[in-house]
Chains A and B, each alone.
Chain A
Amino acid sequence: MEPRNKIKNNIRKLRFENGEMTQQQLADKAGVTRQTIIAIEGGKYSPSLTLAFKIAKVFSVKIEGVFEYEE
């Protein structure tokens, strides 16, 4: 059976590396709810392309630095 979510992320690590940013702060900057950030970090939700780029921009990294697609 195919895994539910093949897209992995290291948002939690990036948050701590960026001044221990909270989930709420990241949510405010990305323009989403905190619950969405929690779902993304937990691998339960794959963000849209727009949101993925917004999150990458918050951390000032490329999108590949935040999300990784596992074959």
Chain B
Amino acid sequence: MSKSQAESWIYFFLGLSCFLIPGGVAIFIAYDRGISFAPVLMFTGIVIWGGLFWLFPFICGKFRKGKKKVTFDERDQLIHKRAVMVAYVVLWLYFVAACVIAWCIVGPHGSISVNVMPLTLLGGLVIFTFVQGLASLIQYGRGGGEK
């Protein structure tokens, strides 16, 4: 497994475990009990996820052993580029869906809280990272970077 592929797995599971799952559980609990601590849990997930995301390159660089060899070549670059493009397309679709769904739920004469805006942005960030990791993994699984 290449370094880039390992990082893709990390991003995939980080996004899944540190935010999506706790966030989903928090929303379910808040909806079921009417408790509004969902934002707190989501913020906690962001902090954990963001911290790991920031620390990961330093940790890996510190414990990497052996002689230095190529870890990111043209194929990895192509896979990464395609994964980012796919993630941006999904991000765009997510924002379109968020706007349309909000309009459908609230209606043309309704209003929503401004707190929804940063949460929407945050959701976009998570989805972007998750989809980028997933797209990278799928390409690596196929042999990667086929033109």
Binding site for B on A (CB under 8 A): 4-5, 27-28, 31-33, 35-36, 39, 42, 44-48, 50-51
Contacts and interface: CB of A to CB of B under 8 A. Distances in A.
Chain B interface size, under 10 / 10 to 19 / 20 to 34 / 35 or more: 10 to 19
B143 interface: yes
A28 B5 CA distance: 19
B71 interface: yes
A46 B146 contact: yes
Interface of B is mostly: loop
Interface of B: 1-2, 5, 69-76, 140, 142-147
A30 B140 CA distance: 20
Given A28-B70, A31-B73, A36-B76, 18 more contacts: A27-B69, A31-B70, A32-B75, A33-B70, A33-B71, A33-B76, A35-B2, A35-B140, A35-B144, A36-B74, A39-B145, A45-B143, A45-B144, A45-B146, A46-B147, A47-B74, A50-B74, A51-B74
